[in-house]
Structure 1
């Protein structure tokens, strides 16, 4: 675990990180993720240095909501993470998302509680390496509106259309 790259090691890890990042600053999301990984990820030694693996679905499912809350998560995010981890244990393989197109990924991921379009798009960018625009993100809409629409805030669908051109 670290800041070596933007891509998550696994799609599962990317989905959990995307849930954590919902509606909070990136800095807070990084702190919560670090707490989660350092408290519940397996500690490994490499060349005299220590690092932590991202917690497994089994580990996350086995944690209480209070343990997850102690990492800085809200009750709802703790529930979403436990619920999604349980789905993975029960047979859903997030790595199979790599074989789908963006709309199929959104359709699949939004069936899980706590995962909406924004989260699915973040997963596509940071875990699968797809070139999509998270147009529901207000910051993205404001930036595109500023540079291309004379500061007139554009709706998400208009931003998506603009970015496809």
Structure 2
């Protein structure tokens, strides 16, 4: 089965994925090749292997998927959602374009679109894994977990993977997670999975909640604080009214850009974001993506 999508001008599929998923640390569960991205997505509890090809940035996306009862319209909607193809990034791009420190990077940054997780469960578990470690280290841990739990499906000659379910993670258990290096986060992951399996926690309604309500729902859970909630809102909901301003990565990055290489404080990150208006959180997101991708020249880590 195949469909073709015309992406926004200059859209770069691989850069958008690689801002979060390292090409040499896969599956997470995403996998990439020279001109493709693949994984298993879930629609109405049906797992669907997908393979998305883009020959050059800005060109059409050729999307291949296994035969399924799920409609082409639902699959297209899901692809648009996880690749953020209909998200308006122009306010953030204008801010970057007008900033004397950043304007030279705008052409590369403008090809990025936020990449979202397949589900809120995936976004939440990944956000827990990302606590207090680098994105690369988080990718390594996620890869180990997926290879331990998930059997691949095949599409276009490639083995692609889904993210584990809560029941699979419970079967692996806290000790199993500790054996692959999750450490204290094993308890937090088990807590979330047990709440879901016991039907005490429902994540999908978060999509329609206010930021305040999302925070109120999740922070009573052990191991979930403001940073994790904000990471979930960005990677799972696509909510760019928030940002984890206390993140050391963004403090270091803005320090390299604006403060002679010296890390700035959370208060100063908030001030920069406020100066950029409603686009502030998305500007910060794009700067972190560009840093990971090496788009910022000597400024990049």
Q: What is the TM-score normalised by the length of structure 1?
A: 0.86
> Please, what is the CA RMSD of the aligned residues?
2.2
Structure 1 residue 159: deviation in Å? Answer: 3.3
Between structure 1 and structure 2, the one with the greater Rg is 2
Q: In the superposition, relative to structure 1, how do residues 16 and 152 fare at CA in structure 2: closer, same or farther (>3 Å)?
A: closer
- List gaps (5 residues or longer) in structure 1: none
Deviates further, 16-25 or 92-101: 92-101
| Structure with the larger helix share | 1
Question: What's the counterpart of residue 32 of structure 1?
Answer: 141
Equivalent residue in structure 1 for 2:229, among 120, 130, 148: 120
Q: 1: distance between equivalents of 2:218 and 2:268?
A: 23
Q: 1: distance between equivalents of 2:243 and 2:259?
A: 17
Q: In the superposition, relative to structure 1, how do residues 152 and 85 fare at CA in structure 2: closer, same or farther (>3 Å)?
A: closer
State how many pairs are aligned: 163
Q: 2: distance between equivalents of 1:96 and 1:158?
A: 33
| Structure with the larger strand share | 2
Query: Which is bigger in relative contact order (C-alpha 8 A, separation at least 6)?
Result: 1
Q: In the superposition, relative to structure 1, how do residues 139 and 48 fare at CA in structure 2: closer, same or farther (>3 Å)?
A: closer
Does 1:68 find its partner at 2:177? yes
Q: 2: distance between equivalents of 1:87 and 1:42?
A: 25
- List gaps (5 residues or longer) in structure 2: 1-28, 32-36, 38-82, 84-114, 278-301
Q: Conserved in 2, the CA contact under 8 Å of 1:21 and 1:29?
A: yes
Q: Conserved in 2, the CA contact under 8 Å of 1:14 and 1:127?
A: yes
Q: What is the TM-score normalised by the length of structure 2?
A: 0.49
